[in-house]
Amino acid sequence: MTSPPRALTSRAPPEPGGAEARARFRTARFIMEAGVKLGLGSAALATACSSFHALAAAAPALAQERFLVAAAALFVAAKAQGTPRRARDVLNVTLRCLHPGSPPPALDGNFWGLRDSLVQCELLLLRALRFRLPLAHPHKYLLQYLLALGRWAGGPWGRVPGVSWALLRDGAAGGLSLRHPPPHLAAAALHLGLELCGRGGAPRDPPRWWQVRGSWGGGLGGFG
Amino acid sequence: MDRELLRQALNHHGPALLSLLRAEQHDNPDFRGLLPPPGAAPEPPRGAPPAAWKERASIDTEIKRFIAKKADLLFAHSWKPNGPIEDSIEENEECYAVMPPLERFLEVPREERRELFFRDIERGDIVIGRITSIREFGFFMVLICLGSGVIREIADLEITALCPVRDVPPQSNHGDPLSYYQTGDLIRAALKDVDRYHEKLAVSLYSTALPPKLSSTKLGVITSDDFPLHYKRSLEVANTGETFEEVLHRSPGFANPSLVEYLAEKLGLSESNPPSLLRSLQIKNFSEEDFAPALRKQQSASWALKCVKAGVDYFKVGRHVEAMNEYNKALEIDPQNVEALVARGALYATKGSLNKAIGDFEVALENCPTHRNARKYLCQTLVERGGQLEEEEKLLNAESYYKKALSLDETFQEAEEALTKLRKHMQKSLEMREKQAAKEEREKAKKIETSAEKLRKLLKEEKRLKKKRKVSTSSSSSSSSSSSSSSSSSDSSSDVSASSSSSSSDHKKRRKKRRHRSESAHSSKKSSSRASSHYKDQNRKEEWYSPPADTSASFLNQSFEVEKLLERQDSVACPKMEVKEKDRHCSFSRTSGDDEDTFGGRSEDSRDSYSSSRSQPSHSKTEKYSKPERYFSSWRGPSGSYHKSDYKPRMHYYRRFERDGEWRREQFKRHGSGQDRYYMSPGSDYSGRSWGKYRSYSSSCSHEGDKDYDSDRQHKNESESKNRKISYEDTDKTKEADEEVSLNGTEQAESGVKRNLPQNLVNIFNQIAEFEREKGSKQKKQ
């Protein structure tokens, strides 16, 4: 578990609700959508979103080229998580997301040009992040917590895992994982999941990790 | 809308949520009916919030607002309910971090844990414990941990379980099963009975007490190495006092890169259909076409189509190689591209490789069954290919092609015509083939049939005639015998199959051999009626011109003429043969002869060459004999009855032969001793020796022959040389002889036969020797 580079986290995030924050969130959502359509896993998606947010924090100028950066972030995150996707697929999907209903691009010089810029942008992204992709994710914590808690609780527990899983995924789009350590995020997601499902609070005398809810409120702001 | 869940949430969060919900979801028809009236909202069940959570209130409202906002997503039915997890997850440290039970890190009071344990424990669960005391009715054990089902921390709860004697499998045949166990042993057992009220447990060491999926677990004494992982972890934690997080980071499974995949699947979280509370990320709103595989496919298809177009352009200007390259490229891009497949198929078809074309069209049709061009082209190509096959005489294949074409397109005229034409053709050729086969069979069979039997007769006759006279023959004309034997051996397999219906298997071997012998003998006999040299020729013809075509009559004529003549001699020669054997073999040979006859009727042209040389009178004469035989042979029933029925007509002419033989005897005498002796000598020799001594026979024969019958040997040598060289003079000779026969009548012909007979006999015996040798070797092998 490596925490995100200090240089990235130290920058102050844009004020919540501002135009910049909204734009970033939209881009992150775009990443999520394209990632789902590319069939990427939660961890890869979280990596892509975090990469984008990290880049936006590190090099705001570069992040203006939102969708290209988003595509590059997806491309590199897929590779980083061991589920590489072809550049052609990434381009196809992202273009389709941007222009719904349009036919897939013809494989002409224009397309190959796009592909080149994607690869260039990937390199740029990596360099801006100093080749340190934000790879630490709360997902496995959440899964382990769910497992342990599920064993303790015994019987069926409805949709708690699903809800908390969704919360975690959606939280990644808000770039939460850059701001909080993964176990905290996982615990928070689990707790909120329990709350949302009306499943009473934590077990009595919660362990240490249970009390580290941090500033969850900021995270909630992300869910538009 | 999941009403149950909504009620639970409302119960939990109280009326504040309800009002919020009403405000947020007022335009959602799903919620309108579901929301209970304001007054009916239940009291908040929870006690005062823990004092530790200072900002409880603000967060609570935040959460409630959030729930209200997302209520339609949160309570939608699309969520997959997650059941209990324990069942499907095995303890595998490589896949995920195996953790001690959560209560190890919590300070849960004992009573509560005990209560929970007895609530959740089930029959069939595996428990692990330590024996505390052994009584005569069983032993008691204190439970340490659980091996399956729920995972609980129970080591300090001091739960005891009884294992009665009847549930302890005996370790040896005698003695007390309990004597095997000692206090302090670690025991893995299956929970057999749970008395939740009295908190009493009974366990069993028989694995029948386990549920089926666990039945492979070994019960009984274990060592501390066999503890389940979670308990080992638990022990470690007890020593080190680690926190949950520390244990988690320490465990190797947590570093597994595919841990997320593994556990998500086990917990029922779908990565391909991820849940989301963001409205814009609801996967059900995504259209399948926008996903990467679909897009790629679409793109590839259009690219491939472009290539196909280029290929077609090339094709139009006649540049086939470039066209093929384009098509192949298109198919590389999109292996299932129908247009490319059809275009390439068409190109193949024009270049003449019809099979490849058919393959392409078929794949195209598989992918797009409605493609009209593909269907059309495929039909045409199939018919064309069928035509090719037809020319190559592969009629069945051709038929299947036509049929396929018709099955694709029932209105396809061309295919239908071709098929009907082909059917006619097939019928014809089938008949022809049948005839041929029949003829071949018949030939074989005939040769076989007549020979053995006749040989016997011949020997008999000879013996009878020359009882006192000791004659030996020099008969080791290896070349002639080998030629005939080889041919007969090649025939033998089919012979066996033809006669396999008859008689028991132990006879088969011998019969087979017999037939070999008789076959060769027969052929030689046949020729014996003509010039001796002619025999070879004829023999060859029969052997090598396999599908001869003639009327059965003509064919039979020859053979029967020969038979007749030979039989006369037979009757003269050897009267004393082992009767039993003879009879048996006679019947065998007859069977085969009959087989031959059935088919012989259809024999064809190649026969003509020599059959034409036969004179008409002799034909008509022998026809008499051939007819009854044919009749019987055409009725092919079980062999036994077959033989019987066959017997009569045969006998009929045997008798005649014998009569003839009598007459002939005198003639022989008149003709001079040299010849006479010669042809009798093999007979007597033959009869003189026993069946088993064929080798010695052949050698002795040659020896004696040297002494006595130089002239015979000359004859033989002559025949040998002729046999090697197929000279057509022979046929001429025969012709002459035949003409003679026809002119001068049978008697003369017969006398002519007699003259040549010694030669034939020599051959016969040589062949017999050959076969016996063969038989001997076979027996040895056996």
The tens digit of pLDDT for each residue in A97-128 reads: 888 888 888 888 899 999 999 999 999 999 98
Q: Which of A97, A140, A163, A185 best tests the B interface by mutation, with the highest count of B CBs <10 A?
A: A140
B114 and B65 assigned to the same domain:
no
Does residue B603 contact residue B443 with C-beta atoms inside 8 Å?
Answer: yes
CA atoms within 13 A on the CB side of A62: 23
Question: Does A140 contact B260 at a Cβ distance shorter than 8 Å?
Answer: yes
B198 and B311 assigned to the same domain:
no
List average pLDDT for each run of 10 residues in chain B, which is 782 residues long.
68 72 66 52 42 56 74 68 54 76 77 83 85 87 82 83 85 73 87 84 84 79 84 84 81 83 79 75 77 86 88 89 89 85 87 85 84 82 82 78 78 76 79 83 72 78 74 44 42 42 44 46 44 46 45 45 50 45 43 41 42 42 43 42 43 48 50 44 42 43 44 48 46 46 45 56 78 69 52
Domain that holds residue B17: 3-37+54-75
B59 and B134 assigned to the same domain:
no
Given B243, B275, B305, which residue is the final one in a domain?
A: B243
Residues in chain B: 782
The beta strand positions in B8-89, using DSSP E, are: none
The tens digit of pLDDT for each residue in B745-768 reads: 444 444 444 455 567 777 877 887
Q: Which of B545, B484, B531 is closest to B718 using CA atoms?
A: B531
| Burial zone of B375 (CB within 10 Å; 0-12 exposed, 13-18 middle, 19+ buried) | buried
Tell me what pLDDT residue B524 has.
Answer: 44
For residue B85, being part of any structural domain is answered with no
Q: Which of B247, B276, B307 best tests the A interface by mutation, with the highest count of A CBs <10 A?
A: B276
| Extents of the domains making up chain A | 6-128, 139-211
B32 and B69 assigned to the same domain:
yes
SS (H, E, C) A74-121: HHHHHHHCCCCCCHHHHHHHHHHHHCCCCCCCCCCHHHHHHHHHHHHH
pLDDT category at A78 given cuts 50, 70, 90 is very high
Tell me what pLDDT residue B757 has.
Answer: 58
Tell me what pLDDT residue B33 has.
Answer: 55
Q: Which residues of A touch B269 (CB under 8 A)?
A: 161-162, 165
Highest mean pLDDT among A73-77, A203-207, B45-49, B267-271: A73-77
Separation in Å, CA of A163 to nearest CA in chain B: 7
Q: Report how far residue A178's alpha carbon sits from residue A49's, in angstroms, rounded to the nearest whole number.
A: 10
Q: Which of B333, B298, B302, B305 is closest to A101 using CA atoms?
A: B298
For residues A30-48, average pLDDT: 89
CA angle B562, B564, B569 (to 5 degrees): 95
Q: Which of B674, B697, B749, B729 is closest to B481 using CA atoms?
A: B697
Tell me what pLDDT residue A169 has.
Answer: 85
Tell me what pLDDT residue A122 has.
Answer: 92
Q: Output the domain CATH number for residue B220.
A: 2.40.50.140
Tell me what pLDDT residue B57 has.
Answer: 65
Residue of B nearest to A140 (CA): B260
Alpha-carbon torsion, ordered B431, B435, B438, B442, to 10 deg: 160
Query: What is the token pair recorded at B521?
Result: 């003998």
Given B383, B410, B430, which residue is the final one in a domain?
A: B430
For residue B333, being part of any structural domain is answered with yes
For residue B731, being part of any structural domain is answered with no
DSSP B225: G
Percentage of chain A beyond pLDDT 70 is 78
For residue B194, being part of any structural domain is answered with yes
- Nearest by CB to B12, from A37, A139, A200: name it: A200
B232 and B334 assigned to the same domain:
no
Residue of B nearest to A187 (CA): B245
DSSP B466: T
Tell me what pLDDT residue A123 has.
Answer: 92
For residue B250, being part of any structural domain is answered with no
Tell me what pLDDT residue B17 has.
Answer: 73
Does residue B522 contact residue B448 with C-beta atoms inside 8 Å?
Answer: yes
B123 and B239 assigned to the same domain:
yes
Tell me what pLDDT residue B85 has.
Answer: 52
Tell me what pLDDT residue B479 has.
Answer: 41
B108 and B230 assigned to the same domain:
yes
pLDDT category at A70 given cuts 50, 70, 90 is very high
Give domain A6-128's CATH number out of 3.40.50.970, 1.10.472.10, 3.40.50.2300, 1.10.150.530: 1.10.472.10
Query: What is the token pair recorded at B678?
Result: 């010669």
Tell me what pLDDT residue A76 has.
Answer: 93
Does residue B535 contact residue B733 with C-beta atoms inside 8 Å?
Answer: no
| Burial zone of B34 (CB within 10 Å; 0-12 exposed, 13-18 middle, 19+ buried) | middle
For residue B354, being part of any structural domain is answered with yes
Report the predicted TM-score, pTM, of the whole model to 2 decimal places: 0.56
B58 and B174 assigned to the same domain:
no
For residue B696, being part of any structural domain is answered with no
Q: Which of B683, B679, B681 is closest to B759 using CA atoms?
A: B679
- Tell me the ipTM for this assembly: 0.76
For the beta carbon of residue B502, count every other beta carbon within 10 angstroms.
21
Amino acid at B484: S
Q: Which residues of A touch B89 (CB under 8 A)?
A: 147
Q: Which residues of A touch B80 (CB under 8 A)?
A: 159, 162
Residue of A nearest to B247 (CA): A144
For residue B669, being part of any structural domain is answered with no
- Nearest by CB to A198, from B13, B151, B264: name it: B13
Which residue is associated with the tokens 């040549």? B756
Tell me what pLDDT residue B263 has.
Answer: 82
SS (H, E, C) B750-781: HHHHHHHHHHHHHHHHHHHHHHHHHHHHHHHH
Tell me what pLDDT residue B648 has.
Answer: 44
Our count of domains for chain B comes to 3
3-state secondary structure of B21: helix
B234 and B127 assigned to the same domain:
yes
